[in-house]
Structure formats: structure tokens, C-alpha cells
């Protein structure tokens, strides 16, 4: 079945780095835009970044631009998020999500979500 | 980027109807029909319930409906059920450099 599984979260000190992964299965990964969305404890959803199927189109939220890097490996059916220069305010559950339709951008709707991976930034 | 504006909370009784608003600008909600809605139960991942303002994905109850007037989109839930108690988020395309923006979320309580 269609599935996304995130991994790589953990506890990191301010200024540190982390790499999140999202393993996809059950669909043709390269056909879909993929996104990262985060949710701080007790807060709402915040879109972080998205990448096109062929990785030539990438967008970031202003809050992470210059610090986070999204990438994908279509041969491995995997999505990644490199988190650098981490701050306390980056503490959140990070979800990866797939767009609802082939070649559609995330704002058309994200119909498949992973269970999330938790990133905690604290000294 | 500024989040879209949603009421922090709404409530209703079983069987009633409620509406959650999502207010933006002509740069997002008001200018484009790319509004989607998500339902999130505590500790769970969000679920897409409305896309392109009015469309329901397969499998989503027809008790959920979406609409838009000007720069305000709305989610209406009719025939409220206890399992509808959850957080609801709107999402839209935006002309800002980020392209995607969420609302702040609305907690629905079914009394």
C-alpha cells in the first residue's frame, strides 16, 4: 500500500545538524512532488519545503531558507531534509507528505502523510 | 510568510452544522482556487478532506464541504459526529516566495 515512513529525528544541540529521511513505497515516487511540514509542540502545521519529482523545482519557508536543504533520490524512493544551524524554535514533529496527484504541486492537496519524526533542539 | 487566519476554536452539538473560516488576501485565498483543508486528530498525521476549494477526496464523508467567497474560504461540517472532534487546518497557494501557506488551525469541540 501507499506509505511514507520518516526517520532520523532526535535530540540535537543548538547550532547542530540533523538529516531526516522519508522512505516511500506503493507508488511511482518520481511522479510526485514531495513536501516537508512541521508541527511544534502544541502548535499548528507549518509548511517547510517542497521538491518536484525531478528535483528541479524547490521552495522553502522563509523561516528555514538558507539553513535547511531538501533533496530526493528517486532510485531509492527516498526524500531527505538536511537541517543545519538548528535553533530551539525548530523543535517539532516533521512530516513528509505526497501531493494528491501526479505532477501536481503541494497546494493542490497533500493526500499521503507519514507518521512524523520528532526533532528536539536543546542544550 | 503570514499564516491564514482561522478561529482558534469552534464547537457544536451532535447533529448540528458548523463552519470554519479561513481568511487570507488576494495573494492567496482570494486570488486562486487552491485551497485545501486538513483534519488532524491528537497524535495523528493530518488527513486531506477538501482540495481545490470544494472537492472531496475519495472516501471522505459528504458531510464535509468547502466553499469560498472573496478572500475567505470556509469548511462546513454537517450532521456533526463525535469523531469529528479534531483540529482543522486550511492551506493555500500564495504568490509569496514560499508558494504554500497554512492557517493557524481551529479546534473543533463536539459537545
3 state SS of B26 = coil
| pLDDT confidence of residue A95 | 98
Most A-contacting residue of B8, B33, B46, B57 (CB-CB within 10 A), to test interface: B46
Question: Is A60 in CB contact (< 8 Å) with chain B?
Answer: yes
Residues of chain B numbered 28-57 and touching chain A (CB < 8 Å): 34, 36, 38, 40, 45-48, 51-52, 57
User: Are the C-beta atoms of B64 and B49 separated by less than 8 Å?
Assistant: yes
| pLDDT confidence of residue B98 | 83
Mean pLDDT of A80-109: 95
Mean pLDDT of A58-76: 96
| pLDDT confidence of residue A59 | 93
Q: Is the pLDDT of residue A66 over 80?
A: yes
C-alpha distances in angstroms, B76 versus B8, B62, B89, B102?
16, 10, 13, 18
A113 to B99: CB separation less than 8 angstroms, yes or no: no
CA of B74, closest CA in chain A: separation in Å?
Answer: 16
| pLDDT confidence of residue B3 | 82
pLDDT tens, N- to C-terminus, chain B (111 residues): 458 999 999 999 999 999 999 999 999 999 999 999 999 999 999 999 999 999 999 999 999 999 999 999 999 999 999 999 999 999 999 998 888 999 999 999 998
Confidence of residue A103 (pLDDT cuts 50, 70, 90): confident
Mean pLDDT of A89-114: 94
d(CA A40, CA A26): 29
Amino acid at each position: 500500500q501507499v506509505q511514507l515512513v520518516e526517520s532520523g529525528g532526535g535530540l540535537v544541540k543548538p547550532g547542530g545538524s540533523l538529516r531526516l529521511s522519508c522512505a516511500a513505497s506503493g507508488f511511482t515516487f518520481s511522479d510526485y512532488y514531495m513536501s516537508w511540514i512541521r508541527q511544534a509542540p502544541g502548535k499548528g502545521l507549518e509548511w517547510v519545503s517542497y521538491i518536484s519529482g525531478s528535483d528541479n523545482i524547490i521552495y522553502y519557508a522563509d523561516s528555514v531558507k538558507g539553513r535547511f536543504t531538501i533533496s530526493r533520490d528517486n532510485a531509492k524512493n527516498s526524500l531527505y531534509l538536511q537541517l543545519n544551524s538548528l535553533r530551539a524554535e525548530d523543535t517539532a514533529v516533521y512530516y513528509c507528505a505526497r501531493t494528491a496527484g501526479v505532477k501536481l504541486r503541494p497546494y493542490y492537496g497533500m493526500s499521503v502523510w507519514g507518521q512524523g519524526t520528532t526533532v528536539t533542539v536543546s542544550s | 510568510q503570514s499564516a491564514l487566519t482561522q478561529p482558534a476554536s469552534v464547537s457544536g452539538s451532535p447533529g448540528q452544522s458548523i463552519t470554519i473560516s479561513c481568511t487570507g488576501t488576494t495573494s492567496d485565498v482570494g486570488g486562486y482556487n487552491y485551497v485545501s483543508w486538513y483534519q488532524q486528530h491528537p497524535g495523528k498525521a493530518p488527513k486531506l478532506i477538501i482540495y481545490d476549494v470544494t472537492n472531496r477526496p475519495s472516501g471522505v464523508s459528504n458531510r464535509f464541504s468547502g466553499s469560498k467567497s472573496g478572500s475567505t474560504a470556509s469548511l462546513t461540517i454537517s450532521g456533526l459526529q463525535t469523531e469529528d472532534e479534531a483540529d482543522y487546518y486550511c492551506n493555500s497557494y500564495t504568490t509569496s516566495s514560499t508558494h504554500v501557506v497554512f492557517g493557524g488551525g481551529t479546534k473543533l469541540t463536539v459537545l
